[in-house]
Amino acid sequence: SASVLTSPWRKDFPTLQTQVYDKSLVYLDSAATAQTPTAVIERMNQFYHHEYASVHRGVHKLSANATENLEFVRSKVADFIGASAAYRQHSPESSATKGLIFTKGTTEAINLVANSYLAHNVQAGDEIIITEMEHHANIVPWQMLAERLGLIIKVWRLNAQHELDEQALQQLITQRTKLLAITHVSNVLGTVNPIKSFIEIAHQADVAVLVDGAQAVMHQRIDVHELDCDFYVFSAHKLYGPTGVGALYVKPNRLSQMQPWEGGGAMIEQVRLPTGTGFTQAPWCFEAGTPNIAGILGFGAAIDYLTSIGLVEIEKHESSLMRSLLKGLQDIDGIEIYGSSSLPTIGVVSFNLNGLHAFDVGAFLDRYGIAIRTGHLCAMPLLKTLGQSSVCRVSLGLYTDQHDVDQLIEGLCRIQGLFGERK
Ligand code: PMP
C-alpha cells in the first residue's frame, strides 16, 4: 500500500532535501554510503562544540567524559550485533567490549585480522578460502598476506545460479585450510549468503571464518553469537553513521590467538628502550593512536537511531520496496538483472540495459537527479564471472520510498526510448 512505501524516516536526512541540477535528489546509492540523519550529525557537532578532548590519557574532566562516552559506544556496538551473549557464554565475567575493536572501517578491520590473527596462526603452504563474490577489501589483504607468508588462496566459485553452494566449499577445505573469508551480503548482487551453515561446515574442519558484514548490518538484525562466526566486520558509514569508523568483532576464543598489528600510543602497557615494550590488553592493544572520537560517537548515535526505529521495521519497509523495484526493473525491455533468483536479495540490485554502457546509463540518470553507482563496484572478479566489465547498481536505505523507485524506472525508460529511437 502507498503508506508502507512512503518512508516516515526520510525527513530525518537533510541531504535528501538537496537539489541536483534543479531536480530533487533521488538517492539510490546507499550501499556505497548511506546518508546521515540529523541525530548523528548533531552528536558529532555536540562533541566538537562542547565536549572536545582526547581519550584514554587525560586526568581532566573533558577527557574523562570523552573516554567514558567512547567506551559506552563500544558496548552499544557489541550489543547491537549480539556480541554480549557470545562473551557471557564464554565466561560470566568477561565483557564483549574486549572483542569489539574500533577500526576506520571494514577494510581496515579485514587488514587487522590478516595481520593480527592469520599471520600468527599459519605456516607457509597453508590455505585461505575466499569467494568469487567478494569486495576487493576481502580479497586484496589476503593476497598480500599470502604473498608475504607463502600461503595459498583458494577461490570458492559461484555455481550456474550465481550462488555459493556447500558442496563446493566441502571440496575446497583441506587439512591446511586456516580461514574462510566470505561476505554476508553481496555488494553487487544483494544475495544474502546462508552463512550460518557455511560457518558450521568450516568449523567442523577447524577453519576460522571472517564474515564481511558491510552490506548486511543496516538491513537486518545480526547476531554474531547465533552465527558463531570468528570475526565479523562492518563500517559505520553504511549504517547511517560517519565515514572513517567501523568495527571488528572477535569471538572470545580467538582473542588470545591475536597479536597487535600497529604499534604506537594507547596500545602499550610499558615502553622500554631499546626493547622490552609490553602491550596492553584487548581491545586497546589493537587500537594504536588517537581514535576517531567524533566518528565513534556518531557511530553510537547511528545505532541509537536504528534501534529506535527497529531493524524489523526497516526490513519490512525495504523488502516491500525491493519487490516493487524488482518488478519495475523486470518490466523494462532489454534489461539484464544479475544474481540469484532463489536466495533472498537485500538492499541492492545490479543490472545492465541492452546495448548501453553502464556509465552512460548512470550519467543520464545523474542529469535527472538520480544517483546510482556504476562500474566494477570493487568486485572485478565477480563482474568477470557475470561477463561484464561494468554494471548499474541501485541500492536502498530506510529513507528510500516509492517515489525514488518510480523516478528511476521512469528515467530508465526514457533512456531506453532515447537510444531506441536512434537505432
Ligand atoms: N565489503 C563490502 C561488501 C562492501 O560493500 C564495502 C564497501 N563498498 C567494503 C567491504 C569496504 O568498506 P569500507 O570502504 O567502508 O572499508
In angstroms, the CA 285 to CA 76 distance is: 20
Residue 310: other Cβ atoms inside 10 A: 11
What ipTM is given for this predicted complex? 0.99
Judged against a pLDDT cut of 60, whether residue 420 lies above it is answered with yes
* Residue with CA nearest ligand 1 atom 6: 214
Judged against a pLDDT cut of 70, whether residue 1 lies above it is answered with no
| Mean pLDDT score, 2-15 | 85
In angstroms, the CA 345 to CA 322 distance is: 8
Task: Output the pLDDT for position 372.
Answer: 98
Task: Output the pLDDT for position 4.
Answer: 54
363-375 pLDDT per residue, tens: 999 999 999 999 9
| Mean pLDDT score, 42-69 | 94
Is the CB of 134 within 6 Å of ligand 1? no
**Grid cell listed for 262:** 600497529
Task: Output the pLDDT for position 2.
Answer: 46
Is the CB of 199 within 6 Å of ligand 1? no
Is the CB of 416 within 6 Å of ligand 1? no
User: Comparing C-alpha atoms, which of 215, 207, 111, 228 is closest to residue 154?
Assistant: 207
3-state secondary structure of 316: helix
Is the CB of 105 within 6 Å of ligand 1? yes
**Grid cell listed for 127:** 590455505
Q: What is the set of active-site residues?
A: 378
Can you say how many angstroms the Cα of residue 414 is from the centroid of all Cα atoms in its chain?
Answer: 33
Point out the least confidently predicted range of 220-229, 335-344, 412-421: 412-421
**Grid cell listed for 19:** 537539489
Task: Output the pLDDT for position 188.
Answer: 97
Judged against a pLDDT cut of 90, whether residue 342 lies above it is answered with no
| Mean pLDDT score, 10-14 | 98
3-state secondary structure of 349: strand
Are 219 and 185 a contacting pair, CB within 8 Å?
A: yes
Task: Output the pLDDT for position 94.
Answer: 83
250-295 pLDDT per residue, tens: 999 999 999 999 999 999 999 999 999 999 999 999 999 999 999 9
| Mean pLDDT score, 242-257 | 97
**Grid cell listed for 308:** 529506535
Judged against a pLDDT cut of 80, whether residue 227 lies above it is answered with yes
Q: What are phi and psi of 182, to 5 degrees?
A: -140, 145
**Ligand 1 centroid vs 135 CA: distance in angstroms?**
7
DSSP, res 192: B
Is the CB of 106 within 6 Å of ligand 1? yes
* Residue with CA nearest ligand 1 atom 8: 32
Is the CB of 135 within 6 Å of ligand 1? yes
**Which ligand 1 atom sits closest to the C-alpha of 183?**
3
H helices present in 210-355, as ranges: 224-227, 252-255, 293-309, 311-330
Mean pLDDT taken over the chain:
95
pTM more than 0.90: yes
**Ligand 1 centroid vs 33 CA: distance in angstroms?**
9
Can you say how many angstroms the Cα of residue 18 is from the centroid of all Cα atoms in its chain?
Answer: 26
**Ligand 1 centroid vs 107 CA: distance in angstroms?**
6
* Residue with CA nearest ligand 1 atom 4: 214
Task: Output the pLDDT for position 423.
Answer: 45
Judged against a pLDDT cut of 50, whether residue 95 lies above it is answered with yes
Judged against a pLDDT cut of 60, whether residue 350 lies above it is answered with yes
Judged against a pLDDT cut of 90, whether residue 122 lies above it is answered with yes
For ligand 1, pick from 215, 219, 374 the residue to mutate: most ligand atoms within 8 Å of CB: 215
Is the CB of 191 within 6 Å of ligand 1? no
* Residue with CA nearest ligand 1 atom 12: 106
